[in-house]
Structure 1
Amino acid sequence: MLPSGRECFPYAYRTHQDANVTVTPVYRLDRGTRIGYSAGSLVNGAFGTVPGLLLLPYLTDTLAVAAGLAGLLVLLPKAWDVVLNPIAGRISDRTTSRWGARRPYLLVGGLGTAVTFAALFAGPFSGSAGAVYVTVAFLATATTFAFFQVPYVAMPAEITAGTTDPYAARTRLMTWRIAVLALAILASGAVAPALRDAAGGGLAGYRVAGLAVAVLIAVGALASFWGTRRAPVGTVQESEPSLRRQLAVARANRPFALLLACFVVQAVGIGVMLAGTDYVAAGPLGDSSATSLLFVCFVGPALIVMPVWERVGARIGKRSGYVIASAVFAAGGLLIGLAFLAGSVLALVLVATAVVGCGYAGQQVFGLAMLPDTIAADEAVTGRRQAGVFTGLWTGGETLGLALGPGVFGLVLQLGGYRSGVDAGDQPDSAHTAIVLGFSLLPAVIMLVALPLLRRYDLTPARLSALTSGES
């Protein structure tokens, strides 16, 4: 429920003349709030991109940790979030403050993430001691990020609940958010490797890159906290007391369960491709500087196609748009494989990567726009707003999927005979083959395998309108 009273909403109003009718404020989601909320994607983009891109090669090539073990070390701290994120959601659901239930965590969790991220790549150790340090620091970073991410993802359901057309408003808000997310991925994913190399690589290079990304995270946290100061905060309600009860709530919400399962499986594919970027550049492409080029081609087109995906969703629906975007991603992955068969021509690989980026942009827009729909549907059926419950499970699942990606890619490297601590040019041919397959075919297959999970997803605009109006 939204707080009543004109003073709570500095927006446009519609009034009802019937004194027997309870009037719900209807407001316009202004541009300042959209930009402010979207700024939080600087935190998401940096944390979601850089560890998946640099942490595995940092462990294998700089600290000389075996590929299989390195993949496990990347996975374990993020797997912790599967348990922690629902707890963070439950805590934010119960929080009462003058800033609302969610905004305090944008500040505390976001700045905490910046500090711990800088520490992640600032370790004074190498070898096994360095691996232990990275594991502990990554665990701390994942913990602070959980307390930013879960409340942040919960906010759209509350921000859009009183708009004239919440279904469309969520797509519009997510379009802005994914555009900023694309910029964050571009800034962090392309610049961090370049800064590492410019600083001479090795431990010193990674420290410089980590500090730069930490600054970006801090900027995103402060901007999102300040930019959402006029957004509706919703009504704080008692949340489910245990993870078991939260899982039961999620299972009862079939659209949410189906969407979550699809999104998590696809996150594994995205994580696999992300983890392979640095290896593809240094190995099969033979140019470590190509890491930044791959990221530019992955993210750059997304900034252009965002309005296209919004129009696609308005014309054919979010679910159909999601399926098409996923198919575009998979097609790009297959094209990357064909480009390597054609002789590892850099230009062809970059074009195919741009196709992947177009699909990724749509997959993120529609997935994150459908999530608030499932939360609104649950509130209509149960009478309870449990955004923290659903977003805690959502972010925990997404984090696990993205963390499994490097683990899977590390296993692919292990099976391919990859030798840690050895220059890319000295790797066996089987390792190069494993890198190419892990970067192209495997993510494409994972993306497509998940789509049948959406067959029974039925939250169309008409269905959602019927639920929220009490007709069904």
Structure 2
Amino acid sequence: MASNDKLSIGVKLGYGVGDLGGNLFFTIIAFWLMFFLTDVAKLPATLAGTAILIGKLVDAVTDPVAGYLSDRTRTRWGRRRPWFFIAAIPLAFAVTFLFTNPRIADQNLLFIWAALAYSLACTVYTCVNIPYNALTPELTKSYNERTSLNGFRNAFSVVGTLLGAGLAMTLVGIVTPEGSADQTAGFTFMGAVFGGIMAVTAIIAFFAVKEPPLPEKVNSENIFKSYIAALKNKPFKLILVPWILFMIGVTVLTATLKYYFDYVKMDVSMDIAMLVLLVSAMGSMPLMVLLSKKFGKRNTYIGGMSFFAAVVLVMFFFGRQFNDIGTYITMVFAGIGLSANYVMPWSIIPDTVEHDYAEHGIRREGVFYGLWTFGIKLGQALAGFLMGVILDLFKYVPNVPQSDTSIFGIMLLVGPVTALFFVAGNIVLAFYPIDKKAYDELRTKIEARDGKQ
């Protein structure tokens, strides 16, 4: 398969299915890890948030290393595929372990366990996800075909989110009866099922996709020079910073929704609300692809996240007065905004990788996707830490009716705090420079260079 050819449906499906497991990991971390640590393992909210943050500090080392090493890997199966094939089964065990309550009474030891378990899961996931993501710019060089490829990826990623958000408590309930004071066994079962799905989807992607020929010129820079060079890429920085800010906002929202439906909107089914949100997001993806072709990737992304910010503010000001139908309608609109964060960033990042190659003539996709994946995890970690601090500040107490103060804290997280990060991300994103014309100029420059080699 030539990397410049239009991709077949089979390749798009085979590659896309890998993101089902990838996004399933992020979903169960975003939706359920904080709740598991505070309400099942009984770790105070601030310590739970800090444990998640420590996991991300570990990622600050492992993500760059994995990206750098995958750029330099040479096997008959390619550079990227061996990584996610070998790490698939360990990932299943790591996720199961993460959601297994160790029943440690000492808070300090419990905190250490949480930090270590989460760090382990993140490290194994890094070995799957960063090489997988780094394949995107290698599979096609077409500006619009990348948007199409990522449309398939994101359709599967929404399925992963649907499973992680909508099926999680059903799986917990299979083992642990609803209303049980101890959901330990249920969460372990949930972790095992979802970990298995992650492993299977990674293996499917390995067999379904063949890598294009390896580049003749190997990146000989050391790891520090590679990452310094990547961070000097202005277009990349102007999408990475908004990406982190958006991930903080999305994670704050999704993780707080469990508290929101448990303690604020107790008359509304969270399972139905999540299903509506994510089906709306999936259904809106083709719309985002069409809008990006008409208005450009940057403008579509800004418009989608602005709309999303408006919806969460509506939830803050009016959500408590909505009945169940009003809440579900709000979830439909939130899903439209969320779809922009599924489709647009993954179609933008390959263009910044091409910008780097046009300027320097060195292929370092793994380096960029190492930083990109770290940005996701950093956003989730900062969100978890922020949530823990705010929940404790507003006197949240697990498993009891909440005071007006703690409910207000939950509402702040759902609305203004989330919207603040969306607005901040849009301000930075407004300066992103690569549109269709600029990308075509990059491709002309690259083809001229490659033709001389």
Q: TM-score scaled to structure 2, two decimals?
A: 0.92
Query: Which residue does the alignment assign to 2:313?
Result: 334
Q: CA deviation at 1:152?
A: 1.2
Query: Which residue does the alignment assign to 1:22?
Result: none
2:432 matched to 1:432? no
Query: Which residue does the alignment assign to 2:168?
Result: 192
The question of whether the paired residues in 2 share the 8 Å contact of 1:85 and 1:150 is answered with yes
How far apart, in 2, do the equivalents of 1:250 and 1:309 lie? Answer: 28
| Aligned residue-pair number | 439
2:21 matched to 1:40? no
Q: CA deviation at 1:387?
A: 0.5
Amino acid at match of 1:114: A
How far apart, in 2, do the equivalents of 1:130 and 1:69 lie? Answer: 9
Q: Which of 120, 124, 147 pairs up with 1:144? A: 124
Q: Which of 248, 270, 273 pairs up with 1:291? A: 270
2:271 matched to 1:271? no
Q: Which of 388, 394, 401 pairs up with 1:416? A: 394
How far apart, in 2, do the equivalents of 1:239 and 1:397 lie? Answer: 25
How far apart, in 1, do the equivalents of 2:317 and 2:356 lie? Answer: 44
The question of whether the paired residues in 2 share the 8 Å contact of 1:52 and 1:403 is answered with no
Amino acid at match of 2:184: L
What pairs up with 1:366-377 in 2 under 5 angstroms?
366-377=344-355
The question of whether the paired residues in 2 share the 8 Å contact of 1:71 and 1:407 is answered with yes
- What SS is found at the alignment partner of 2:87? helix
Name the % identity. 27
- Give 5+ residue unaligned stretches, structure 1: 1-8, 12-24
Query: Which residue does the alignment assign to 1:451?
Result: 426
Query: Which residue does the alignment assign to 1:317?
Result: 296
Amino acid at match of 2:425: A
Q: Which moved more, 1:259-268 or 1:188-197?
A: 188-197
CA-to-aligned-CA distance 1:220-277 (integer Å, 9 cap, x gap): 1111111113x4254272254133x234212321101110011111111111112102
Query: Which residue does the alignment assign to 2:206?
Result: 225
CA-to-aligned-CA distance 1:325-360 (integer Å, 9 cap, x gap): 111211221122133242x53332232222222111
How far apart, in 2, do the equivalents of 1:296 and 1:374 lie? Answer: 34
The question of whether the paired residues in 2 share the 8 Å contact of 1:82 and 1:397 is answered with no
Amino acid at match of 1:438: L
What pairs up with 1:32-181 in 2 under 5 angstroms?
32-127=10-105, 128=107, 129-161=109-141, 166-181=142-157
Q: Which moved more, 1:31-40 or 1:133-142?
A: 133-142
Q: CA deviation at 1:30?
A: 0.6
CA-to-aligned-CA distance 1:56-76 (integer Å, 9 cap, x gap): 111211222211111111221
- Give 5+ residue unaligned stretches, structure 2: 177-181
How far apart, in 2, do the equivalents of 1:383 and 1:370 lie? Answer: 20
Name the structure where helix makes up a greater proportion of residues.
2
Q: TM-score scaled to structure 1, two decimals?
A: 0.89
Q: CA deviation at 1:207?
A: 1.0
Q: Compared with structure 1, are the counterparts of its residues 379 and 406 closer, same or farther at alpha carbon in structure 2 (3 Å cutoff)?
A: same
The question of whether the paired residues in 1 share the 8 Å contact of 2:41 and 2:102 is answered with no
Q: CA deviation at 1:26?
A: 4.2
Query: Which residue does the alignment assign to 1:403?
Result: 381
The question of whether the paired residues in 1 share the 8 Å contact of 2:166 and 2:271 is answered with yes
Query: Which residue does the alignment assign to 1:19?
Result: none
Q: Compared with structure 1, are the counterparts of its residues 441 and 424 closer, same or farther at alpha carbon in structure 2 (3 Å cutoff)?
A: farther
